[in-house]
Amino acid sequence: MPATRLPALDLAPDASPEAFAMRVLLEETGEMFQVTDCRSDMTVRELKEELDLTVGIPLDLQRLQYLDQGVLMDDTTLKFHDVVPGGIISLCIWHYDGWTELVLAAVEGDPSKLSCLGVDEDSLYQTANSQHLEHKQWKDWIAQRAFVALYITSHRGHSDAVQYLLEHGADSLSRTPMGRTALHVAAAMDRLDCISHLLKYGASINERDDRGESPMSVAQRLNHRHSERRMFLFYWMAKSGTKDPKNLITNKVFLRAKSRFGSKKSQV
């Protein structure tokens, strides 16, 4: 698969003078990503937390390597591993329970491939682990796979795949270990069509991750004005019980909120 360069996210606009940029290569797909706010005292766990949003891979599936040092342990620092500014860290997916195949299909965004990989309860897909699961455990396993696929496809902007997953039971309110929903990454990457699908299936613009950020605040921080406006409008349409945005013109509360929103004096 040819390498694809996605936009770098400036995860901290007020980065300290000691901050430096580095690159992360997702080995399974050849995609290269840039992280701009790295520090020598940053732990591997902290880097994974950034990559959860930047690369769109939940941190519990990430396996990081640098040069020939093997797997980087979460509590070690970049300085400990002699990571240099501009250096390349390899991100690999843990090779167990069929996760690699699922990630590859989600990055590609082909619903027909995802449908064969255990993302809905009608699937016949099995792994060595899943065939030993009891019914409740198996349903949880399917739900987790569906969410991971939804998270990655939302990040990559595959709206058809996002719609397919939502129609087949993927939960728009599920979270990564960092507390992020699929709407967080769709907002971070400015994926308008995916944002619309997620909102229609119950995604919340106000759910906060472990760093206290909502999808709205992520879009605002990254200056994704179109994503921010779309979530703002959907929020008020739901709040007023209307399906026609034109009806909001007569809503005085909405007009006051819109005025504040436009001036950046408040957030929804």
Q: Give the per-residue pLDDT at 18.
A: 80
Let me know: does 58 contact 151? Beta carbons within 8 Å.
yes
Strand 20-26 and strand 62-65: pairing? unpaired
Which tens digits make up the pLDDT trace of 29-75? 999 999 998 999 999 999 999 999 999 999 999 999 999 889 999 99
Q: Give the per-residue pLDDT at 34.
A: 95
Which tens digits make up the pLDDT trace of 100-146? 999 999 999 999 999 999 999 999 999 999 999 999 999 999 999 99
Residue 25 predicted with pLDDT over 80: yes
Per-residue pLDDT band at 258 (split at 50, 70, 90)? low
**Domains in the chain, start-ordered, CATH in brackets?**
1-94 (3.10.20.90), 181-188+204-268 (no CATH)
Q: Give the per-residue pLDDT at 266.
A: 44
Q: Give the per-residue pLDDT at 261.
A: 59
